[in-house]
Chains A and B, each alone.
Chain A
Amino acid sequence: MPNLLRLATAGSVDDGKSTLIGRLLFDSKTIFADQLAAIERASRDRGEDYPNLALLTDGLRAEREQGITIDVAYRYFATPRRKFIIADTPGHIQYTRNMVTGASTADLALILLDARNAIADQSRRHAFLATLLGIPHLVVCVNKMDLVGWSRDRFEEIREEFRRFSMKLAVPDLTFVPVSALHGDNIVHRSASMPWYEGTSLLHHLEEVHISSDRNLIDARFPVQYVIRHKDFRGYAGTVAGGVFKPGDEVLVLPSGFTTTVSAIWGPGGRPVTEAFPPQAVTLRLADDLDVGRGDLICRPNNRPHVGQDVDAMVCWLTERGNLSPDAKYTVVNTTRTTKAVVTSLDYRMDITTLHRDETAESLALNEIGRVKLRTQQPLLFDAYRRNRACGSFILVDETTNNTVAAGMITGPSQSVVWHSTAVGRAERGSTGCTVWLTGLSASGKSTIAVELERRLVAAGRPAYLLDGDNLRHGLNADLGFSAADRAENVRRVGEVARLFADAGLVAVVSLISPYQADRDRVRAAHEQAGLGFFEVFVDTPIETCEARDPKGMYARARAGEITGFTGVDDPYEPPVAPELVLRPEQGDPARMAALVIAALDRMPLPRMD
């Protein structure tokens, strides 16, 4: 069901967001004549010379009076390719609540920047919230290009500034479009004023962006919503929250722990279904007569969610009536399960402008975001939010006012830090670890393969953890640069972490350019010494291909001399002498390559356990 794109828009009052949406509706001919006439009339009344497209989206009377938008408004438009639902949210800091609401269901976030100004704090907050809410695609519209003389340099300057900032966030897909909402440039049609811009118009991008693969089709999750009983019929109704269910599948019912088989699946109205996937509403029939009710969850026996009463979560506080504080009690709603919860601790409050964590914070007020630990009365059945939005999200409801007071995103089960004593031998751990080391040029596809590899290993019940070189440079290796010495230290540290993870029983999946043979060999030696498998994978994508992809524009900058010491351009890459596996583009897409790695891994002799 991918042909519905839900997008959240955010921008400050002066960025021209309402004008942009109005323009999108106007130029795609979704505005009706009576709406346009009403706007023209209202614009004239306000003494404006041209139809104020912003009036289209400023719905409520108070907003019209104040000239601002104060809530989430939903807009609809369709092109022959797609239907779009816009959750239009205001930009003020005090309306973080609304942005979070609009973003919760969005596939894509649209952020507006004013080409004349430096990136506003507000825009940084919007980008942060979009990533916090797990929106897979981010589109940055650099607006008012007409007011900077359609300047390419200005556009690129802003783009780089935003990129530098967004490196701190995990934005899976980032696109920039220079536009003028007022004049319609690059909104629906390509602009004639910016011939240097080689991308597509905003609408074209929205029509084409690939969203069907954003769904989690790996982890089968079916929260039971309602039991349908009729004569001797008993079916479990709900919306698939992850993975794929088929008749004949062996399934596990949580929290009871019984296993049974799916005997039939029906879509709405009793249409037989051979495969059910998110977000379909279906009814399952199980082979055995079990006691299953609303709030239970059906999954696969070898791939189950966390079951627990203690969770760590990021929460956004949504109400001005009272603050979140430790020891407060709420009703928590997660999937179809409702129980009571107490906030056992507030770990920190996040400053969403600077991303600073204030660990001395004692409460969260309206629009504040922080990390908490919750203890629930009944166990929750959950996944981490970043893995599955449907199973990792929750709301907190105040028990006296019945209001929704917080939006929560589970980061994982709460754990106190436990240092494994050396008394635990490797054979006593649940699984055998090793390290898969992906090396290759920038943009060779290492990270994409690594992500897919981690996902597949975990889905197959093998604990795995991705160590991505770029991500580690934000924390563990934040103090390192790109000199040869720093690169060697970077590889050493990542190698050490990988070795520890492998020792703990995980498959450490490393994605790192690691250009020098000597550095990689030292990591291999450390593994061999510890009796751990080291599996070197050379992602052998020709530099021309990498350079053509150049998702972060790094090759272009290196060629232009803006950055130096860039591997493959003015710094050498030493291909592995004897890698365990070589992956070349002609072998298929990243998913196929990940499968090749797993197949090769399965053939590798396990390290000795003694």
Chain B
Amino acid sequence: MTLALDRRTANLDALESEAIHIFREVAGEFDRPVILFSGGKDSTVLLHLALKAFWPAPVPFALLHVDTGHNFPEVIDFRDRVVGKHGLRLLVAHVQDWIDDGRLTERPDGTRNPLQTVPLLDTIAENKFDAVFGGGRRDEERARAKERIFSLRNAFGQWEPKRQRPELWNLYNGRHRPGEHVRVFPLSNWTELDVWNYIAREKIELPDIYYAHEREVYLRDGMWLAEGPWGGPRDGETLERRTIRYRTVGDGSCTGAVDSDARTIEDVIAEVAASRLTERGATRADDRLSEAAMEDRKREGYF
């Protein structure tokens, strides 16, 4: 067991060093970087790594959250608590503002996840952010498997898979024209299990909803959805109280929970290690739309 733990740690050390190298590279080469921070586990790990990369100095970047207005209140509380604790600067782009002034219209199905792209790109442009850190991992989805660590977005914020730059050794090319920006993914080489092992090793606090708790939920498309401002059960769907947890945390309208008794980090690791479903496959309705769902959204400028 000790040996297995050492091995696990050796792997995490290598991943941690790689991520920190990436943070420092961006700090050395860009003028206005920003970290996308939602309070979810990947962005919390991202922030933790940034804090470690620049110790003892504060993180030299601002944080940005695109709030759909359909977020879990526990996560928003957590987000604000973390920001306050580390004395960070957080910008929030509210999707509601874009709907209110007509730049966006609500979708008939009520989900706001696809609506995040426009506020994100508008905010990046307004603030002239040139490097945008995201918590994306290549193991999440097939289209992400080809994503670079430094991923250039054109002046429309779009990703062009055929025009990606070759990325060699640890020599990252972040050069861009005015108006373009670079998405940076320090967790590219991490898997879901790596993230959880790292959370355990570093004792990183997360929103409670990642751990098993009781909640009123209803079943749709094989996922447990919670009732909220985004809607609730339709005909034939009934609310029931179950012990569940969330594997990913996104817009409440399309983020499903899984049945789980994993109340501690160790329980979660055991559950993830034994799981036969990817986290997105299990809990994200938005990725199920079509075989190329994620690729299409990425081209448009999604995270």
Q: How many residues of A are counted as interface, with CB atoms below 8 angstroms from the partner's CB atoms?
A: 66
Task: Check if B57 sits within 8 Å of A225, measured CB to CB.
Answer: no
Task: Check if A279 sits within 8 Å of B17, measured CB to CB.
Answer: yes
Query: What are the interface flags for B101-114 relative to A under an 8 Å C-beta threshold, 1 for contact and 0 otherwise?
Result: 00000000000000
CB contact list, B83-124 vs A, under 8 A: none
- Given A226-B27, A407-B166, A333 contacting B291 (CB threshold 8 A): no
Task: Check if B161 sits within 8 Å of A394, measured CB to CB.
Answer: no
Give the docked Cα–Cα distance between A98 and B28 (Å): 27
A294 CB contacts on chain B under 8 angstroms: 28
Query: What are the interface flags for B42-57 relative to A under an 8 Å C-beta threshold, 1 for contact and 0 otherwise?
Result: 0000000101111111
B175 CB within 8 Å of chain A: yes
Q: Interface-forming stretch among B31-39, B232-240, B273-281?
A: B273-281
Give the docked Cα–Cα distance between A4 and B14 (Å): 7
A228 CB within 8 Å of chain B: yes
Task: Check if B167 sits within 8 Å of A34, measured CB to CB.
Answer: no
B57 CB contacts on chain A under 8 angstroms: 228-230, 233
Task: Check if B146 sits within 8 Å of A4, measured CB to CB.
Answer: no
Give the docked Cα–Cα distance between A3 and B15 (Å): 11
Number of A-B contacts (CB under 8 A): 172
Q: Interface-forming stretch among A74-82, A175-183, A538-546, A596-604?
A: A74-82
Task: Check if A281 sits within 8 Å of B21, measured CB to CB.
Answer: yes
Distance in angstroms from B165 CB to nearest chain A CB is 5
Task: Check if A318 sits within 8 Å of B169, measured CB to CB.
Answer: no
B20 CB contacts on chain A under 8 angstroms: 268, 281
Give the docked Cα–Cα distance between A389 and B169 (Å): 8
A7 CB within 8 Å of chain B: no
A553 CB within 8 Å of chain B: no
Task: Check if B171 sits within 8 Å of A228, measured CB to CB.
Answer: no
Task: Check if B7 sits within 8 Å of A81, measured CB to CB.
Answer: yes
Task: Check if B166 sits within 8 Å of A318, measured CB to CB.
Answer: yes
A453 CB within 8 Å of chain B: no
B242 CB within 8 Å of chain A: no
Task: Check if B4 sits within 8 Å of A33, measured CB to CB.
Answer: no
A42 CB within 8 Å of chain B: yes
Which one of A60, A281, A404 lies within 8 Å of B17 (CB-CB)?
Answer: A281
Task: Check if A34 sits within 8 Å of B277, measured CB to CB.
Answer: yes
Give the docked Cα–Cα distance between A362 and B246 (Å): 60
Task: Check if B281 sits within 8 Å of A32, measured CB to CB.
Answer: yes
Task: Check if B21 sits within 8 Å of A76, measured CB to CB.
Answer: no
Query: What are the interface flags for A73-91 relative to B under an 8 Å C-beta threshold, 1 for contact and 0 otherwise?
Result: 1111010111101000000
A105 CB within 8 Å of chain B: yes
CB contact list, B262-295 vs A, under 8 A: 275-278, 281-282, 291-292, 295
Q: Interface-forming stretch among A123-131, A395-403, A442-450?
A: A395-403
Which one of A71, A266, A394 lies within 8 Å of B55 (CB-CB)?
Answer: A266
Task: Check if A71 sits within 8 Å of B173, measured CB to CB.
Answer: no
Q: Interface-forming stretch among B67-75, B185-193, B252-260?
A: B185-193
Distance in angstroms from B174 CB to nearest chain A CB is 9
B142 CB contacts on chain A under 8 angstroms: 59-60, 73
Task: Check if A74 sits within 8 Å of B138, measured CB to CB.
Answer: yes
Task: Check if B143 sits within 8 Å of A60, measured CB to CB.
Answer: yes
Give the docked Cα–Cα distance between A35 and B164 (Å): 26
Distance in angstroms from B297 CB to nearest chain A CB is 13
